């Protein structure tokens, strides 16, 4: 099969839209609620999950014919745990403040339903290249939702994007304007509402395509 065949193209495009792991399969919701109060942690979490999913898929795909069926889940967890440890140490070394903000949620990538689902449903049955594409696509599909929710929450909750002030000081009520930051946007409950709205819009837009 060609590296850029139509089949591989479908594998890559599916999770980005019509089979998005969050909007369609409703997976990975917990971290979507926990790390999206600001945009930077959402971006870092999305990149981390994408990298781990892609490389875990490749490793499991390479090992799939040598893994005894009765211990396959244990092997998958060991591979994922090793990759999560590597990513966690990289984050602590280069973006320490963000890694502190993400706290235990980086470690909880080990139990991410998207990641374990792709290993079991795809990587165990397919060769390394399609598995890599599947991992990248599912990670990006997940990251896209986090970025959208994080963007809205930070903008409306803090008036900033990536820490840079977007709403001018003159717009705030204390300075004679009409704007006030929405404190509810910083709460997990609002993240749940935004994810629900994203799922609703996604399904309306893609209903005819399906």
Q: Is residue 71 part of a domain?
A: yes
- 7-31 pLDDT per residue, tens: 888 888 888 888 888 888 888 788 7
Q: Is residue 2 part of a domain?
A: no
pLDDT at 82: 94
Smallest Cα–Cα separation from 74: which of 122, 22, 120, 130?
120
171: its two tokens: 């717009």
Q: Mean pLDDT across the stretch 116-124?
A: 90
Q: Is residue 24 part of a domain?
A: yes
What residues make up the domain containing 86? 7-151
Domains held by the chain: number: 1
Q: Is residue 188 part of a domain?
A: no
pLDDT at 57: 95
Q: Mean pLDDT across the stretch 31-53?
A: 89
Give dist(CA 88, CA 54) in Å, integer: 16
Q: Does residue 210 carry a pLDDT above 60?
A: no
Q: How confident is the model at residue 2 (pLDDT cuts 50, 70, 90)?
A: low
Q: Is residue 25 part of a domain?
A: yes
Mean pLDDT value across the chain: 87
Q: Is residue 189 part of a domain?
A: no
Assess contact for 52 and 87: CB atoms under 8 A.
yes
Q: Is residue 178 part of a domain?
A: no
pTM for this structure? 0.89
Q: Is residue 1 part of a domain?
A: no
Assess contact for 58 and 132: CB atoms under 8 A.
yes
User: Residue 8 to residues 18, 24, 149, 206: CA-CA distances in angstroms?
Assistant: 15, 20, 29, 21
Side-chain-facing half-sphere of 183: CA atoms under 13 Å: 0
Give dist(CA 201, CA 72) in Å, integer: 37
- 125-178 pLDDT per residue, tens: 999 999 999 999 999 999 999 999 999 999 998 989 988 888 888 788 777 777
User: Residue 77 to residues 25, 53, 102: CA-CA distances in angstroms?
Assistant: 21, 12, 21
Give dist(CA 181, CA 160) in Å, integer: 10
pLDDT at 208: 67
- 66-89 pLDDT per residue, tens: 999 899 999 999 999 999 999 999
Helix and strand numbers (H, E) in the chain are 8, 2
- 53-64 pLDDT per residue, tens: 999 999 999 999
């Amino acid at each position: 099969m060609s590296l850029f065949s139509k089949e591989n193209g479908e594998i890559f495009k599916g999770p980005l839209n019509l089979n998005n792991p969050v909007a369609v399969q409703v997976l990975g919701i917990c971290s979507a609620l926990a790390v999206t109060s600001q945009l930077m942690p959402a971006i870092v979490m999305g990149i981390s999950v994408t990298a781990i999913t892609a490389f875990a898929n490749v490793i499991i795909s390479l090992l799939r014919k040598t893994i005894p069926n009765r211990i396959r889940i244990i092997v998958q967890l060991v591979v994922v745990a090793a990759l999560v440890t590597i990513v966690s140490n990289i984050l602590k070394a280069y973006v320490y403040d963000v890694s502190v903000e993400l706290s235990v949620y980086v470690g909880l990538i080990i139990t991410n339903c998207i990641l374990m689902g792709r290993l079991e449903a795809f990587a165990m049955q397919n060769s390394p290249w399609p598995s890599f594409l599947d991992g990248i696509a599912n990670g990006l599909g997940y990251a896209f939702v986090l970025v959208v929710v994080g963007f809205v929450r930070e903008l409306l909750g803090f008036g900033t994007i990536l820490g840079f002030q977007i709403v001018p000081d003159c717009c705030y009520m204390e300075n004679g304007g009409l704007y006030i930051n929405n404190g509810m946007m910083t709460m997990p409950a609002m993240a749940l509402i935004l994810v629900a709205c994203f799922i609703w819009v996604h399904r309306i837009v893609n209903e005819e395509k399906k």
